[in-house]
Structure 1
Amino acid sequence: MKREIDIRRVSRVDACCRPLDWAWPKQNRSFVEENWKRRTAGKPQMFNGRVLLLQDVTFEQDLCRNTYFETDYADFVAWIDKGYPDPAIANGFAMGALRGSDGAFICGVMGEGTTNAGRIYFAAGTPDPDDLRPDGTVDLAASLTRELAEETGLTEGDYHVDDEWIIVQRWPTIALLRMVTLPVTAEEGAAKIRANLAGQHEPELQDVRIVRGVEDIDPERMPFFLQSFFAWVFAQR
Protein backbone atom coordinates (compact mmCIF):
# COMPACT_ATOMS: atom_id res chain seq x y z
CA MET A 1 0.00 0.00 0.00
CA LYS A 2 1.25 3.46 -0.79
CA ARG A 3 2.26 5.67 2.11
CA GLU A 4 2.11 9.12 0.50
CA ILE A 5 -0.81 11.46 1.17
CA ASP A 6 -3.68 11.37 -1.31
CA ILE A 7 -6.53 13.90 -0.98
CA ARG A 8 -9.58 13.74 -3.20
CA ARG A 9 -13.21 14.84 -3.26
CA VAL A 10 -16.07 12.40 -3.84
CA SER A 11 -19.82 12.90 -3.90
CA ARG A 12 -20.65 9.58 -2.26
CA VAL A 13 -19.20 7.03 0.18
CA ASP A 14 -20.66 3.53 0.23
CA ALA A 15 -19.58 1.41 3.20
CA CYS A 16 -20.44 -2.14 4.21
CA CYS A 17 -19.28 -4.65 6.83
CA ARG A 18 -18.19 -8.19 5.95
CA PRO A 19 -16.79 -10.93 8.24
CA LEU A 20 -13.01 -11.28 8.36
CA ASP A 21 -10.98 -13.72 10.43
CA TRP A 22 -8.17 -11.33 11.37
CA ALA A 23 -5.12 -13.47 12.09
CA TRP A 24 -2.75 -10.83 13.54
CA PRO A 25 -4.36 -10.39 17.01
CA LYS A 26 -4.69 -14.15 17.40
CA GLN A 27 -1.02 -14.60 16.62
CA ASN A 28 -0.06 -11.82 19.06
CA ARG A 29 -2.54 -12.40 21.90
CA SER A 30 0.00 -11.92 24.70
CA PHE A 31 1.08 -8.55 23.32
CA VAL A 32 -2.56 -7.49 22.87
CA GLU A 33 -3.40 -8.33 26.48
CA GLU A 34 -0.30 -6.71 28.00
CA ASN A 35 -0.70 -3.64 25.83
CA TRP A 36 -4.31 -3.24 26.93
CA LYS A 37 -3.31 -3.41 30.60
CA ARG A 38 -0.71 -0.70 29.99
CA ARG A 39 -3.09 1.48 28.02
CA THR A 40 -5.94 1.32 30.53
CA ALA A 41 -3.85 1.87 33.67
CA GLY A 42 -5.35 4.89 35.41
CA LYS A 43 -8.02 5.29 32.70
CA PRO A 44 -11.13 3.50 34.03
CA GLN A 45 -13.36 5.01 31.33
CA MET A 46 -11.60 3.03 28.60
CA PHE A 47 -13.35 -0.24 27.74
CA ASN A 48 -12.76 -3.01 25.26
CA GLY A 49 -15.77 -2.66 22.97
CA ARG A 50 -16.09 -3.59 19.32
CA VAL A 51 -14.95 -1.41 16.42
CA LEU A 52 -14.98 -1.55 12.63
CA LEU A 53 -11.69 -1.52 10.71
CA LEU A 54 -11.14 -1.30 6.97
CA GLN A 55 -10.21 -4.38 4.99
CA ASP A 56 -10.60 -2.69 1.58
CA VAL A 57 -11.15 0.70 -0.02
CA THR A 58 -11.63 1.47 -3.71
CA PHE A 59 -12.51 4.52 -5.77
CA GLU A 60 -14.82 4.56 -8.77
CA GLN A 61 -14.99 8.00 -10.36
CA ASP A 62 -16.99 10.07 -7.82
CA LEU A 63 -17.53 7.19 -5.39
CA CYS A 64 -15.51 5.75 -2.49
CA ARG A 65 -16.32 2.14 -1.51
CA ASN A 66 -15.24 0.94 1.94
CA THR A 67 -15.43 -2.61 3.28
CA TYR A 68 -15.15 -2.97 7.07
CA PHE A 69 -14.88 -5.86 9.50
CA GLU A 70 -15.57 -6.08 13.23
CA THR A 71 -12.91 -6.62 15.90
CA ASP A 72 -12.06 -5.80 19.53
CA TYR A 73 -10.89 -2.30 20.39
CA ALA A 74 -7.95 -3.83 22.29
CA ASP A 75 -6.84 -5.57 19.08
CA PHE A 76 -7.08 -2.28 17.20
CA VAL A 77 -5.05 -0.35 19.80
CA ALA A 78 -2.38 -3.07 19.92
CA TRP A 79 -2.09 -2.99 16.12
CA ILE A 80 -1.51 0.78 16.27
CA ASP A 81 0.97 0.58 19.14
CA LYS A 82 2.92 -2.17 17.35
CA GLY A 83 3.37 0.11 14.35
CA TYR A 84 0.60 -1.16 12.02
CA PRO A 85 2.22 -4.58 11.41
CA ASP A 86 -0.59 -5.91 9.19
CA PRO A 87 -0.46 -3.73 6.03
CA ALA A 88 -3.73 -5.13 4.67
CA ILE A 89 -5.77 -3.39 7.40
CA ALA A 90 -6.58 0.31 7.77
CA ASN A 91 -8.30 2.71 10.16
CA GLY A 92 -11.04 4.45 8.19
CA PHE A 93 -13.20 6.93 10.11
CA ALA A 94 -15.69 9.71 9.42
CA MET A 95 -14.80 13.17 10.69
CA GLY A 96 -16.58 16.52 10.70
CA ALA A 97 -14.28 19.36 9.66
CA LEU A 98 -15.92 21.85 12.02
CA ARG A 99 -15.60 25.53 11.11
CA GLY A 100 -17.17 28.83 12.01
CA SER A 101 -18.99 31.21 9.69
CA ASP A 102 -15.68 33.10 9.37
CA GLY A 103 -13.94 30.04 7.86
CA ALA A 104 -11.73 29.30 10.87
CA PHE A 105 -11.70 25.66 12.00
CA ILE A 106 -12.34 24.29 15.50
CA CYS A 107 -10.42 21.21 16.67
CA GLY A 108 -10.70 19.35 19.93
CA VAL A 109 -7.88 18.67 22.39
CA MET A 110 -8.30 15.11 23.63
CA GLY A 111 -8.74 14.61 27.36
CA GLU A 112 -6.29 12.90 29.69
CA GLY A 113 -8.51 9.85 30.12
CA THR A 114 -8.58 9.03 26.40
CA THR A 115 -6.34 6.87 24.23
CA ASN A 116 -4.94 9.92 22.41
CA ALA A 117 -4.60 12.33 25.34
CA GLY A 118 -3.34 15.75 24.31
CA ARG A 119 -3.69 15.15 20.57
CA ILE A 120 -5.49 17.78 18.51
CA TYR A 121 -7.99 16.92 15.77
CA PHE A 122 -11.63 17.19 14.76
CA ALA A 123 -14.21 15.19 16.69
CA ALA A 124 -14.14 11.64 15.32
CA GLY A 125 -14.15 8.01 16.29
CA THR A 126 -13.50 4.65 14.72
CA PRO A 127 -16.85 3.27 13.48
CA ASP A 128 -18.50 0.72 15.75
CA PRO A 129 -21.52 -1.63 15.67
CA ASP A 130 -23.85 1.32 16.43
CA ASP A 131 -23.12 2.47 12.87
CA LEU A 132 -24.23 -0.83 11.33
CA ARG A 133 -27.59 -1.05 9.59
CA PRO A 134 -29.68 -4.23 9.17
CA ASP A 135 -28.65 -4.54 5.51
CA GLY A 136 -24.94 -4.67 6.44
CA THR A 137 -24.13 -1.10 5.43
CA VAL A 138 -22.10 1.20 7.65
CA ASP A 139 -23.65 4.66 8.19
CA LEU A 140 -20.60 6.91 8.25
CA ALA A 141 -22.72 10.07 8.09
CA ALA A 142 -24.41 9.04 11.35
CA SER A 143 -21.02 8.20 12.87
CA LEU A 144 -19.85 11.72 12.07
CA THR A 145 -22.77 13.49 13.75
CA ARG A 146 -22.74 11.11 16.73
CA GLU A 147 -19.08 11.81 17.45
CA LEU A 148 -19.67 15.56 17.16
CA ALA A 149 -22.47 15.31 19.71
CA GLU A 150 -20.52 13.09 22.11
CA GLU A 151 -17.32 15.15 22.06
CA THR A 152 -18.52 18.74 21.58
CA GLY A 153 -22.16 18.68 22.70
CA LEU A 154 -23.24 20.10 19.34
CA THR A 155 -26.34 18.60 17.74
CA GLU A 156 -27.45 18.48 14.11
CA GLY A 157 -29.53 21.63 14.53
CA ASP A 158 -26.38 23.59 15.43
CA TYR A 159 -24.62 23.30 12.05
CA HIS A 160 -24.80 22.52 8.32
CA VAL A 161 -23.06 19.43 6.90
CA ASP A 162 -21.86 19.48 3.27
CA ASP A 163 -22.88 16.56 1.06
CA GLU A 164 -19.40 16.23 -0.42
CA TRP A 165 -16.76 14.02 1.21
CA ILE A 166 -13.05 14.83 1.30
CA ILE A 167 -10.95 11.67 1.56
CA VAL A 168 -7.51 12.12 3.14
CA GLN A 169 -5.62 8.89 2.69
CA ARG A 170 -2.22 7.82 3.93
CA TRP A 171 -2.54 4.10 4.42
CA PRO A 172 -3.23 2.77 7.01
CA THR A 173 -5.10 5.95 8.00
CA ILE A 174 -8.09 7.08 5.93
CA ALA A 175 -10.05 10.10 7.14
CA LEU A 176 -13.42 10.66 5.49
CA LEU A 177 -14.24 14.30 6.13
CA ARG A 178 -17.25 16.48 5.51
CA MET A 179 -17.23 20.23 6.03
CA VAL A 180 -19.42 21.13 9.02
CA THR A 181 -20.24 24.84 9.25
CA LEU A 182 -21.63 26.74 12.23
CA PRO A 183 -23.82 29.84 11.77
CA VAL A 184 -21.52 31.71 14.19
CA THR A 185 -17.81 32.56 14.20
CA ALA A 186 -15.21 30.06 15.34
CA GLU A 187 -14.68 32.06 18.54
CA GLU A 188 -18.39 31.88 19.36
CA GLY A 189 -18.49 28.20 18.43
CA ALA A 190 -15.49 27.45 20.62
CA ALA A 191 -17.12 29.26 23.54
CA LYS A 192 -20.28 27.18 23.14
CA ILE A 193 -18.29 23.94 23.03
CA ARG A 194 -16.32 24.91 26.14
CA ALA A 195 -19.60 25.59 27.95
CA ASN A 196 -20.88 22.18 26.85
CA LEU A 197 -17.70 20.50 28.09
CA ALA A 198 -18.04 22.18 31.47
CA GLY A 199 -21.43 20.52 31.87
CA GLN A 200 -20.26 17.00 30.97
CA HIS A 201 -19.41 14.51 33.72
CA GLU A 202 -16.48 12.87 31.87
CA PRO A 203 -15.77 14.95 28.74
CA GLU A 204 -13.62 13.38 26.04
CA LEU A 205 -12.12 16.78 25.23
CA GLN A 206 -10.14 18.95 27.62
CA ASP A 207 -10.33 22.03 25.38
CA VAL A 208 -10.68 23.23 21.78
CA ARG A 209 -8.22 24.88 19.43
CA ILE A 210 -9.01 27.37 16.63
CA VAL A 211 -7.09 26.97 13.36
CA ARG A 212 -7.20 30.03 11.08
CA GLY A 213 -4.23 29.33 8.82
CA VAL A 214 -1.10 27.27 8.27
CA GLU A 215 0.58 29.10 11.14
CA ASP A 216 -1.83 27.34 13.52
CA ILE A 217 -0.88 23.83 12.38
CA ASP A 218 0.70 21.99 15.32
CA PRO A 219 3.15 19.38 13.95
CA GLU A 220 3.72 17.91 17.40
CA ARG A 221 0.13 17.32 18.46
CA MET A 222 -1.84 17.07 15.23
CA PRO A 223 -1.81 13.78 13.28
CA PHE A 224 -0.09 13.97 9.91
CA PHE A 225 -3.28 13.49 7.92
CA LEU A 226 -4.83 16.55 9.60
CA GLN A 227 -1.73 18.67 8.99
CA SER A 228 -1.99 17.66 5.34
CA PHE A 229 -5.70 18.48 5.22
CA PHE A 230 -5.13 21.98 6.60
CA ALA A 231 -2.22 22.64 4.24
CA TRP A 232 -4.45 21.53 1.33
CA VAL A 233 -7.44 23.66 2.43
CA PHE A 234 -5.46 26.82 3.11
CA ALA A 235 -3.56 26.51 -0.17
CA GLN A 236 -6.88 26.90 -1.97
CA ARG A 237 -7.75 30.19 -0.31
Structure 2
Amino acid sequence: MSFDLPRNVILPVDDVDVRLDPNPHPFERNNEAAIAENWRREMAAKPALFDGTVVLLSALSYRDSRLVGRCHAVRYSTFMLWRKSPELSGAEHAYAHAVLVAGDNALVAIRMGSHTVNAGRVYFAAGSFEPVDFREGLVDVDFNMIREVGEETGIDLSAARRGQRYHALSTSSGTVIFRRYHVPEPAEEVARRISAFVATEAQPEIESPVIIRHAGDLPDGLMGHMKPLIEWHFANELA
Protein backbone atom coordinates (compact mmCIF):
# COMPACT_ATOMS: atom_id res chain seq x y z
CA MET A 1 0.00 0.00 0.00
CA SER A 2 1.51 3.25 -1.12
CA PHE A 3 0.67 6.91 -0.52
CA ASP A 4 3.24 9.08 -2.21
CA LEU A 5 2.22 12.69 -2.72
CA PRO A 6 3.10 16.08 -1.26
CA ARG A 7 1.05 17.09 1.77
CA ASN A 8 -0.45 20.44 2.73
CA VAL A 9 0.18 22.09 -0.63
CA ILE A 10 -2.23 22.75 -3.49
CA LEU A 11 -1.23 20.70 -6.53
CA PRO A 12 -2.26 21.22 -10.18
CA VAL A 13 -3.90 18.09 -11.56
CA ASP A 14 -4.41 17.40 -15.27
CA ASP A 15 -5.59 13.81 -14.93
CA VAL A 16 -7.12 11.61 -12.22
CA ASP A 17 -6.47 7.90 -12.74
CA VAL A 18 -8.03 6.34 -9.66
CA ARG A 19 -9.37 2.84 -10.28
CA LEU A 20 -11.80 0.67 -8.37
CA ASP A 21 -10.29 -2.64 -7.25
CA PRO A 22 -13.00 -5.34 -6.90
CA ASN A 23 -11.15 -7.00 -4.02
CA PRO A 24 -12.05 -6.14 -0.40
CA HIS A 25 -10.05 -3.41 1.28
CA PRO A 26 -7.72 -5.04 3.85
CA PHE A 27 -8.86 -2.55 6.51
CA GLU A 28 -12.46 -3.73 6.22
CA ARG A 29 -11.51 -7.40 5.96
CA ASN A 30 -9.32 -7.24 9.08
CA ASN A 31 -11.61 -5.20 11.34
CA GLU A 32 -15.10 -6.66 11.00
CA ALA A 33 -15.84 -6.91 14.72
CA ALA A 34 -14.55 -3.42 15.53
CA ILE A 35 -16.51 -1.96 12.59
CA ALA A 36 -19.74 -3.54 13.84
CA GLU A 37 -19.23 -2.37 17.42
CA ASN A 38 -18.36 1.18 16.39
CA TRP A 39 -21.38 1.32 14.08
CA ARG A 40 -23.68 0.42 16.98
CA ARG A 41 -22.31 3.40 18.89
CA GLU A 42 -22.60 5.71 15.88
CA MET A 43 -26.23 4.70 15.28
CA ALA A 44 -27.09 5.26 18.92
CA ALA A 45 -25.81 8.84 18.60
CA LYS A 46 -27.26 9.58 15.14
CA PRO A 47 -30.05 7.14 14.16
CA ALA A 48 -30.48 8.73 10.71
CA LEU A 49 -27.11 7.39 9.50
CA PHE A 50 -27.25 4.94 6.59
CA ASP A 51 -24.73 2.16 6.05
CA GLY A 52 -24.31 2.68 2.31
CA THR A 53 -21.27 2.11 0.13
CA VAL A 54 -18.32 4.47 -0.28
CA VAL A 55 -14.71 3.90 -1.31
CA LEU A 56 -11.39 3.96 0.55
CA LEU A 57 -7.98 4.20 -1.08
CA SER A 58 -5.23 1.64 -0.73
CA ALA A 59 -2.78 3.64 -2.90
CA LEU A 60 -2.42 7.18 -4.23
CA SER A 61 0.53 8.96 -5.83
CA TYR A 62 1.20 12.24 -7.65
CA ARG A 63 3.47 12.32 -10.68
CA ASP A 64 3.68 14.75 -13.62
CA SER A 65 0.45 16.53 -12.62
CA ARG A 66 -1.42 13.20 -12.42
CA LEU A 67 -3.10 11.51 -9.49
CA VAL A 68 -2.88 7.73 -9.78
CA GLY A 69 -4.50 5.46 -7.23
CA ARG A 70 -6.41 2.36 -6.27
CA CYS A 71 -9.55 2.19 -4.16
CA HIS A 72 -12.05 -0.36 -2.87
CA ALA A 73 -15.76 -0.25 -2.14
CA VAL A 74 -16.42 -0.41 1.61
CA ARG A 75 -19.42 0.00 3.87
CA TYR A 76 -20.00 3.45 5.36
CA SER A 77 -19.64 1.81 8.77
CA THR A 78 -16.09 0.86 7.76
CA PHE A 79 -15.38 4.48 6.83
CA MET A 80 -16.71 5.64 10.21
CA LEU A 81 -14.24 3.43 12.08
CA TRP A 82 -11.40 4.38 9.73
CA ARG A 83 -11.83 8.11 10.34
CA LYS A 84 -11.08 7.64 14.06
CA SER A 85 -7.51 6.42 13.45
CA PRO A 86 -6.62 6.85 9.76
CA GLU A 87 -2.87 7.01 10.34
CA LEU A 88 -2.78 3.37 11.50
CA SER A 89 -5.11 1.87 8.92
CA GLY A 90 -3.21 1.49 5.64
CA ALA A 91 -6.10 3.36 4.02
CA GLU A 92 -6.82 6.94 2.96
CA HIS A 93 -9.84 8.90 1.82
CA ALA A 94 -10.23 11.00 -1.32
CA TYR A 95 -13.23 13.14 -2.16
CA ALA A 96 -14.15 15.89 -4.61
CA HIS A 97 -15.31 19.50 -4.28
CA ALA A 98 -17.09 21.50 -6.92
CA VAL A 99 -15.98 25.00 -5.90
CA LEU A 100 -19.20 26.88 -6.65
CA VAL A 101 -18.33 30.36 -7.94
CA ALA A 102 -21.19 32.83 -8.33
CA GLY A 103 -21.33 35.55 -10.97
CA ASP A 104 -19.99 38.13 -8.49
CA ASN A 105 -16.96 35.88 -7.74
CA ALA A 106 -18.25 34.98 -4.27
CA LEU A 107 -18.13 31.34 -3.24
CA VAL A 108 -21.23 29.46 -2.15
CA ALA A 109 -20.65 26.67 0.38
CA ILE A 110 -23.09 24.81 2.63
CA ARG A 111 -23.58 24.12 6.34
CA MET A 112 -24.41 20.50 7.12
CA GLY A 113 -27.62 19.46 8.84
CA SER A 114 -27.84 18.53 12.51
CA HIS A 115 -28.56 14.84 11.84
CA THR A 116 -25.41 14.30 9.78
CA VAL A 117 -21.93 13.19 10.86
CA ASN A 118 -20.51 16.65 10.11
CA ALA A 119 -23.35 18.57 11.74
CA GLY A 120 -22.83 22.34 11.56
CA ARG A 121 -19.62 22.11 9.55
CA VAL A 122 -19.11 24.29 6.48
CA TYR A 123 -17.61 23.12 3.19
CA PHE A 124 -18.53 22.91 -0.48
CA ALA A 125 -21.42 20.54 -1.21
CA ALA A 126 -19.78 17.14 -1.63
CA GLY A 127 -19.80 13.48 -0.76
CA SER A 128 -17.47 10.51 -0.85
CA PHE A 129 -16.92 8.67 -4.11
CA GLU A 130 -19.36 5.80 -4.55
CA PRO A 131 -19.34 2.91 -7.04
CA VAL A 132 -21.82 4.83 -9.24
CA ASP A 133 -19.09 7.45 -9.82
CA PHE A 134 -16.88 4.98 -11.72
CA ARG A 135 -16.91 4.31 -15.47
CA GLU A 136 -15.40 0.95 -16.42
CA GLY A 137 -13.50 1.01 -13.15
CA LEU A 138 -12.16 4.58 -13.51
CA VAL A 139 -13.43 7.40 -11.30
CA ASP A 140 -15.41 10.18 -13.02
CA VAL A 141 -14.63 13.11 -10.75
CA ASP A 142 -16.93 15.60 -12.48
CA PHE A 143 -19.87 13.18 -12.39
CA ASN A 144 -19.40 12.90 -8.62
CA MET A 145 -19.20 16.68 -8.21
CA ILE A 146 -22.32 17.36 -10.27
CA ARG A 147 -24.26 14.52 -8.62
CA GLU A 148 -23.46 15.58 -5.07
CA VAL A 149 -24.17 19.29 -5.62
CA GLY A 150 -27.49 18.42 -7.25
CA GLU A 151 -28.52 16.05 -4.46
CA GLU A 152 -27.63 18.44 -1.65
CA THR A 153 -28.52 21.85 -3.08
CA GLY A 154 -30.77 21.33 -6.11
CA ILE A 155 -28.28 23.27 -8.27
CA ASP A 156 -27.59 21.58 -11.63
CA LEU A 157 -23.96 22.19 -12.62
CA SER A 158 -23.99 20.03 -15.75
CA ALA A 159 -23.96 23.09 -18.03
CA ALA A 160 -21.82 25.32 -15.79
CA ARG A 161 -18.46 26.63 -17.02
CA ARG A 162 -15.67 24.56 -15.49
CA GLY A 163 -12.19 25.56 -14.43
CA GLN A 164 -9.38 24.64 -16.81
CA ARG A 165 -8.07 21.84 -14.60
CA TYR A 166 -8.43 20.09 -11.28
CA HIS A 167 -6.35 20.86 -8.24
CA ALA A 168 -5.76 18.74 -5.16
CA LEU A 169 -4.89 19.26 -1.52
CA SER A 170 -3.70 16.27 0.48
CA THR A 171 -3.62 16.41 4.30
CA SER A 172 -3.51 13.89 7.10
CA SER A 173 -7.32 13.66 6.99
CA GLY A 174 -7.64 12.96 3.26
CA THR A 175 -7.16 14.27 -0.26
CA VAL A 176 -9.64 16.72 -1.76
CA ILE A 177 -9.76 17.02 -5.55
CA PHE A 178 -11.40 20.28 -6.53
CA ARG A 179 -12.43 22.30 -9.56
CA ARG A 180 -14.21 25.59 -10.03
CA TYR A 181 -17.74 25.58 -11.42
CA HIS A 182 -18.97 29.01 -12.49
CA VAL A 183 -22.64 30.01 -12.54
CA PRO A 184 -23.85 33.42 -13.82
CA GLU A 185 -26.17 34.34 -10.95
CA PRO A 186 -24.90 36.47 -8.03
CA ALA A 187 -24.28 34.68 -4.77
CA GLU A 188 -27.48 35.93 -3.11
CA GLU A 189 -29.58 34.40 -5.88
CA VAL A 190 -27.70 31.09 -5.75
CA ALA A 191 -28.20 31.01 -1.99
CA ARG A 192 -31.90 31.78 -2.39
CA ARG A 193 -32.31 28.87 -4.79
CA ILE A 194 -30.50 26.51 -2.42
CA SER A 195 -32.64 27.64 0.53
CA ALA A 196 -35.80 27.10 -1.52
CA PHE A 197 -34.65 23.57 -2.40
CA VAL A 198 -33.79 22.74 1.22
CA ALA A 199 -37.26 23.87 2.28
CA THR A 200 -38.84 21.22 0.02
CA GLU A 201 -36.81 18.33 1.46
CA ALA A 202 -38.26 16.12 4.21
CA GLN A 203 -34.81 15.50 5.71
CA PRO A 204 -32.29 17.71 3.90
CA GLU A 205 -28.60 16.92 4.20
CA ILE A 206 -27.74 20.58 4.59
CA GLU A 207 -28.95 23.28 6.93
CA SER A 208 -28.30 26.33 4.77
CA PRO A 209 -26.08 27.91 2.09
CA VAL A 210 -23.05 29.93 3.20
CA ILE A 211 -21.68 32.81 1.09
CA ILE A 212 -17.94 33.56 1.26
CA ARG A 213 -16.98 36.90 -0.31
CA HIS A 214 -13.23 37.23 0.33
CA ALA A 215 -10.25 35.31 1.67
CA GLY A 216 -10.78 36.54 5.22
CA ASP A 217 -14.49 35.75 5.23
CA LEU A 218 -14.21 32.50 7.17
CA PRO A 219 -17.50 31.32 8.71
CA ASP A 220 -17.86 29.50 12.00
CA GLY A 221 -17.69 25.74 11.59
CA LEU A 222 -15.40 25.88 8.56
CA MET A 223 -13.75 22.51 7.88
CA GLY A 224 -9.96 22.62 8.18
CA HIS A 225 -9.23 21.91 4.51
CA MET A 226 -11.45 24.79 3.34
CA LYS A 227 -9.27 27.77 4.34
CA PRO A 228 -6.50 26.95 1.80
CA LEU A 229 -9.10 26.45 -0.95
CA ILE A 230 -10.76 29.78 -0.20
CA GLU A 231 -7.43 31.60 -0.15
CA TRP A 232 -6.41 29.90 -3.40
CA HIS A 233 -9.62 30.98 -5.15
CA PHE A 234 -9.34 34.66 -4.30
CA ALA A 235 -5.59 34.73 -5.07
CA ASN A 236 -5.85 32.88 -8.43
CA GLU A 237 -8.77 34.23 -10.41
CA LEU A 238 -7.77 32.54 -13.68
CA ALA A 239 -6.39 29.23 -12.36
TM-score > 0.5, shorter chain as reference = yes
Separation in 1 of the partners of 2:18 and 2:113? 30
Task: Tell me which residue corresponds to 1:94.
Answer: 96
Q: Report the CA distance between 1:13 and its aligned residue.
A: 1.6
TM score, norm. by length of structure 2: 0.88
Q: Report the CA distance between 1:4 and its aligned residue.
A: 4.0
1:70 aligns with 2:73: yes
Q: Report the CA distance between 1:35 and its aligned residue.
A: 2.1
The AA in structure 1 aligned to 2:114 is E
The AA in structure 2 aligned to 1:24 is F
Candidates 31, 34, 38, aligned match of 2:34? 31
The AA in structure 2 aligned to 1:142 is F
Task: Tell me which residue corresponds to 1:217.
Answer: 218
Can you give the 5+ residue segments of structure 1 that lack an aligned partner in the other structure? none
The AA in structure 1 aligned to 2:221 is R
TM score, norm. by length of structure 1: 0.89
The AA in structure 2 aligned to 1:108 is I
Task: Tell me which residue corresponds to 2:51.
Answer: 48
Is the 2:112–2:118 contact (alpha carbons within 8 Å) kept by the matching residues of 1?
Answer: yes
Is the 1:50–1:70 contact (alpha carbons within 8 Å) kept by the matching residues of 2?
Answer: yes
Root mean square deviation of aligned Cα: 2.2
Is the 2:116–2:205 contact (alpha carbons within 8 Å) kept by the matching residues of 1?
Answer: yes
Is the 2:121–2:222 contact (alpha carbons within 8 Å) kept by the matching residues of 1?
Answer: yes
Matches within 5 A, 1:180-199: 180-199=181-200
Deviations 1:183-221 (A, max 9, x none): 111111111111111111211001111111232224x62
Separation in 2 of the partners of 1:66 and 1:222? 28
- Give percent identity, aligned residues only: 29
Q: Report the CA distance between 1:157 and its aligned residue.
A: 5.1
Larger deviation: 112-121 or 34-43?
A: 34-43
The AA in structure 1 aligned to 2:96 is A
1:17 aligns with 2:20: yes
Q: How many residues align?
A: 234
Separation in 2 of the partners of 1:18 and 1:54? 9
Separation in 2 of the partners of 1:114 and 1:154? 20
Is the 1:53–1:126 contact (alpha carbons within 8 Å) kept by the matching residues of 2?
Answer: no
Separation in 2 of the partners of 1:20 and 1:88? 15
Larger deviation: 139-148 or 14-23?
A: 14-23
Larger deviation: 39-48 or 106-115?
A: 39-48
Candidates 46, 61, 69, aligned match of 1:58? 61
